[in-house]
A and B are shown apart, each in its own frame.
Chain A
Amino acid sequence: MATKASRTAARMMISPAVVLLLGWMLVPLSLTIYFSFLRYNLITPGTNPFVGWENYYWFLTDPSFKAAMINTLVLVGGVLLITVVGGILMALLLDQPMWGQGIIRIMVIAPFFVMPTVSGLIWKNMFMNPVNGIFGHIAQGLGVEPISFFSQIPLLSIIFIVSWQWLPFATLILLTALQSLDQEQLEAAEMDGASWISRFFYIMLPHLARSITVVILIQTIFLLSIFAEILVTTNGGPGTSTTNLTYLIYVASLLQFDVGMGSAGGVIAIILANIVAIFLMRMIGKNLDA
């Protein structure tokens, strides 16, 4: 509801943002799709012939693609499982009355603000290094053989590091959601004779359901693109055991300079991310109407 004059003004004020984002989306996207059909390698200059689906064929049949897909799924799934379950428990705990709640909350949230390269390196060197890391020292103290994290359980180690970074995010969002729960609802349930456990399952969990979905969707978007943690710890190895889709495309594009192959991978990554994005957008869109 407004006048014609203000609608004209609005159109003018929104256009820079729209033009920029449209360019940002369309130009690289169409180039990626275009490159994905070319044989195009930066170290063998010359013509870049059109090769149809060849890049897709080689990318999809490469055994490291299958490994990368599995790693991506395990990485995303593992982190989601740890952060969501952990986040619910942490949120429930932090919602209880206690002393020094502010300080405790700050400590819990801190890992989220640590840049990915730093957290990768801290864990790799100060904790998971079998000789000088804290875990190594603890193992020695207990008289057991220290684990060499990045050669024995590389993917699990990365899941652990990433979970440490994202647990605060899940906790913070679920705690916020929990605090918005109407206390009278809980009191009514208590009057109705519901035990603590039934109050959790029948009232708190349904109230949190929406936020849990949001946490899962948003984390998935970010987790599909995990890159820096892998780069500074394992470089995708040993072998391909910690190579996820993002890292695989990075290797093809910027280490092997195979633009065509990298682009084909990029298109596949976009398609996968879009499947998640559709669900996320529905959730957020619904909220817009409210």
Chain B
Amino acid sequence: MARSVKTSRKAVTTLVAGTLGLLMFFPVLWIVILSFKSEGDAIKAPLAVLFSTDWTTESYGAVQARSDYLKHFSNSVVISFGSTFLGLLVAIPAAWAMAFVPGKRTKDVLMWMLSTKMLPPVGVLVPIYLIFRDLGILDSRVGLVFVLMMINLPIIIWMLFTYFREIPGEILEAARMDGASLREEIIHVLTPMAIPGIASTVLLNIILAWNEAFWTLNLTSAKAAPLTAFIASYSSPEGLFYAKLSAASVMAIAPILILGWFSQKQLVRGLTFGAVK
């Protein structure tokens, strides 16, 4: 039972939590502000920046004009969506099998899949790099889609598994008794029932793939570079152009911030492999 709390106490809590929340959020807020300033204004003292009333969107145009932002954005979209959907195609049947036809070794298989996620990327950097070089898929979207699909596949399978497991097996048996084939059972009964779970799996994996910054930095140079790598190019002198760096950053994180806010709950389950719900 919720108990009523004194208004004064609630006010103090709100104030403290609000201040902390604002502090955590401030860097994001700050680049949003800077991105609408001219380069000259952007390096002024914070208060001067806040109280200047000159707003401009010139930085956004400049980022696109100078370094073809849209190309990198589309790379990010292709890589994160592509890897997620390919992963889903492989993962849905696998998760179905483990959730509804568990065998003696199902648990071992699941744990083994998880263990591949524990492999530190740097441990296999050299061979992957060389294999990609020899196949000619360094700096290609295809290569990155594959790598990101593989590193996220265990998470996708696990998330789907935990969602599928919550669907009562009797419903699938009912479909079987009602004359549905395995394909019809998955299409007409399982998938529609699992849509919320599948949606949050997709969401989380797009976020993870979008922000992945080891393989995307090491396997791309220019052509296939997604936003993570594009932003990294600002680490050198260009970083001194605060307004442009801000504009580029805002554009890189905005889509995922919005997606992320929708997926807070699922995030916990996905990232802890169901250990915390």
Please determine whether chains A and B interact with each other in the same assembly: yes
Residue B177 at the A interface, CB < 8 A?
Answer: no
User: Within residues 203 to 233 of chain A, which ones have a CB less than 8 A from any CB in chain B?
Assistant: 210-211, 214, 218, 221, 224-225, 227-228, 231-233
Choose among B11, B111, B125, B228 the residue that contacts A266 (Cβ–Cβ < 8 A). B125
Residue A176 at the B interface, CB < 8 A?
Answer: yes
Contact between A110 and B116 (Cβ–Cβ < 8 Å)? no
Residue B202 at the A interface, CB < 8 A?
Answer: no
The residue in B110, B130, B157, B240 that gathers the most chain A C-beta atoms within 10 A of its C-beta is: B130
Contact between A262 and B90 (Cβ–Cβ < 8 Å)? no
B224 to chain A, nearest CB (A): 16
Report Cα–Cα, A142/B272, bound state, in Å.
Answer: 44
Contact between A227 and B217 (Cβ–Cβ < 8 Å)? yes
Residue B159 at the A interface, CB < 8 A?
Answer: no
A101 to chain B, nearest CB (A): 8
Given contacts A107-B25, A225-B214, A277-B115, contact A267 B130 (CB under 8 A): no
Contact between B17 and A98 (Cβ–Cβ < 8 Å)? yes
Residue of A nearest to B45 (CB): A137
Q: Which A residues are CB-close (under 8 A) to B43?
A: 132
Residue A31 at the B interface, CB < 8 A?
Answer: yes
The residue in A20, A21, A123 that gathers the most chain B C-beta atoms within 10 A of its C-beta is: A21
Given contacts A10-B97, A110-B24, A173-B276, contact A227 B213 (CB under 8 A): yes
Q: Which B residues are CB-close (under 8 A) to A24?
A: 116, 150
Q: Which B residues are CB-close (under 8 A) to A16?
A: 90, 93-94
Contact between B253 and A9 (Cβ–Cβ < 8 Å)? no
Using an 8 Å CB-CB cutoff, how does the interface string of A152-169 with B read, 1 for contact, 0 for none? Answer: 000000000000100111
Report Cα–Cα, A112/B21, bound state, in Å.
Answer: 13
Contact between A281 and B114 (Cβ–Cβ < 8 Å)? yes
B contact patch SS: helix
Given contacts A113-B257, A125-B240, A225-B121, contact A281 B115 (CB under 8 A): yes
Residue A254 at the B interface, CB < 8 A?
Answer: yes
Report Cα–Cα, A262/B218, bound state, in Å.
Answer: 14
Q: Which B residues are CB-close (under 8 A) to A263?
A: 126-127
Contact between A228 and B242 (Cβ–Cβ < 8 Å)? no
A contact patch SS: helix
Report Cα–Cα, A197/B180, bound state, in Å.
Answer: 58
Report Cα–Cα, A126/B14, bound state, in Å.
Answer: 28
Contact between B98 and A281 (Cβ–Cβ < 8 Å)? no
Choose among B31, B90, B125 the residue that contacts A20 (Cβ–Cβ < 8 A). B90
User: Within residues 61 to 107 of chain A, which ones have a CB less than 8 A from any CB in chain B?
Assistant: 90, 93-94, 96-101, 103-107
Contact between A113 and B213 (Cβ–Cβ < 8 Å)? no
A226 to chain B, nearest CB (A): 9
Report Cα–Cα, A109/B235, bound state, in Å.
Answer: 25
Choose among A28, A107, A115, A126 the residue that contacts B256 (Cβ–Cβ < 8 A). A115
Report Cα–Cα, A250/B261, bound state, in Å.
Answer: 33
Contact stretch, chosen from B51-59, B63-71, B101-109: B101-109
Using an 8 Å CB-CB cutoff, how does the interface string of B239-277 with A read, 1 for contact, 0 for none? Answer: 110100110010011001101110011011001111111
A91 to chain B, nearest CB (A): 11
Contact between B213 and A117 (Cβ–Cβ < 8 Å)? yes
Residue B74 at the A interface, CB < 8 A?
Answer: no
Q: A109-B261, A110-B24, A266-B125 are in contact. List 4 more A-B contacts (CB 8 A).
A: A21-B113, A111-B25, A118-B249, A228-B214
A-B CB contact pairs (8 Å), 26 listed:
A21-B153, A29-B124, A93-B17, A99-B11, A104-B21, A108-B21, A109-B260, A110-B28, A112-B260, A112-B267, A115-B227, A115-B231, A121-B234, A121-B235, A124-B235, A125-B242, A164-B27, A169-B271, A218-B271, A225-B122, A253-B126, A266-B125, A273-B120, A280-B118, A283-B275, A284-B274
Which A residues form the contact surface with B (CB < 8 A)?
2, 6-7, 9-11, 13-14, 16-18, 20-21, 24-25, 27-29, 31-32, 35, 90, 93-94, 96-101, 103-127, 132, 134, 137-138, 140-141, 164, 167-169, 172-173, 176-177, 180, 183, 210-211, 214, 218, 221, 224-225, 227-228, 231-233, 245-246, 249-250, 253-254, 259, 262-263, 265-267, 269-270, 272-274, 276-277, 280-281, 283-285, 287-289
Which B residues form the contact surface with A (CB < 8 A)?
1-2, 5, 10-11, 13-14, 16-18, 20-22, 24-25, 27-28, 30-31, 34, 43, 45-46, 90-91, 93-94, 96-98, 100-101, 103, 107, 109-131, 150, 153-154, 157, 182, 207, 210-211, 213-214, 217-218, 227-229, 231-232, 234-235, 239-240, 242, 245-246, 249, 252-253, 256-257, 259-261, 264-265, 267-268, 271-277
